[in-house]
A = this chain, B = another copy of it.
Amino acid sequence: MKYLLEYEEGERVIAFCLVKSREVAVASNQSEYMNLELGDKSGSIQAKLWDVTDELKELIQVKAIIKIDAYVQNYRGKKQLVLQRVRLASSSDEVAMDSLVPTTAFPLESLWDEVEARLAEIKSTTLRAVVDELIHDQEISERLRSFPAGVKMHHHYFGGLLEHTVSLLRLAERLLPLYPQVDRDVLFATCILHDIGKIYELSDPIAPDYSTPGQLIGHLVMGTEMVSEACRKLGISTTDPEILHLKHCILSHHGEMENGWGSAVSGKTPTAVLFHYLDQIDSKMNALGNTLREADEAEEWMYASVLRRKIWRGF
């Protein structure tokens, strides 16, 4: 299968893709045309659709999945698609979402299995029950398998949240033997649940915006409330010490309250303090890895927005 950015100038392109932005304009001959940004897993490309009808204007909306017949043109030194034919994709097309948007490089199901495996290792019946209740809820489970971990900073692609979750579980598993002062069960539960509020803070997994509850409450408190809700369903006291510890780790995972990144409370246990650093490590390493991968290999130095400075590829 060939992706949008792999076609060369002059080639014909028949492919499914996602409408990422659209704009209707008027040509000098007074007919209307569309400037589109189309995307698939390989990235985004500009496209033009001339002499657009009212029907097409209705059809082609942002986030629509469409099938195109087009050719690649050079426009001011950049490749551009000129669309000849367009239709909406239907369910019978069986378009895989992960072919349409940048997606985690790891198989989603194997990531999921890793979460399950770690969950099974949680010894505390209380914590295991809460995590189990939450991640096996049907809606949550679906969203956890698809949402990114953010809009642009790190793991900002389909399945990114699950990848980040598993990556933290691996970090935790490896570091736990070194620090007996850390609570293994709470740490595992925190890895799985710390960003679970993001599945409602963001609007959808494909081209996410912040939702209204997301902007008013934020994913730290949303996640904490999901834990409380699960406890209620399971008949677990909200002042159970392990539950308090888990909620404390979620609420403090953006670091010290004083740094102004939105922790409602500063970490007050070795587990909470450690988890904040693990989360920083995994998000920074992912963001820097993306920066290195996306930059021209010949560049020795390139701008990394996560650090707001240039980073060095090395030699």
Residues of A at the B interface (CB closer than 8 Å) are 167, 170-171, 174-175, 178-179, 181-183, 212-213, 215-218, 220-221, 224-225, 228-229, 232, 238-239, 241-242, 244-245, 247-248, 251, 256-270, 273-274, 277, 280-281, 284-285, 288-289, 292, 300-301, 307, 309-312, 314-315
Given that A216-B245, A268-B215 are known contacts, is A171 also in contact with B178, CB under 8 Å in the complex? yes
5 closest Cβ pairs, A-B complex: A241-B315, A174-B174, A258-B260, A216-B248, A264-B264
Q: How far is the CA of A315 from the CA of B264 in the complex (A)?
A: 22
B314 touching A183, Cβ below 8 Å:
yes
A269 touching B311, Cβ below 8 Å:
yes
Q: How far is the CA of A255 from the CA of B66 in the complex (A)?
A: 46
A265 touching B216, Cβ below 8 Å:
yes
Taking CB as reference atom, which chain B residue is nearest A271? B314
Task: Say how far A162's CB is from chain B's closest CB, in angstroms.
Answer: 16
A314 touching B241, Cβ below 8 Å:
yes
Chain B residues near A257: list those with CB within 8 A: 260-262
Would you mind naming 9 contact pairs between A and B with Cβ atoms under 8 Å apart?
A: A181-B289, A212-B301, A215-B268, A216-B245, A225-B238, A245-B314, A259-B260, A266-B307, A266-B309
Given that A170-B178, A274-B285 are known contacts, is A314 also in contact with B269, CB under 8 Å in the complex? yes
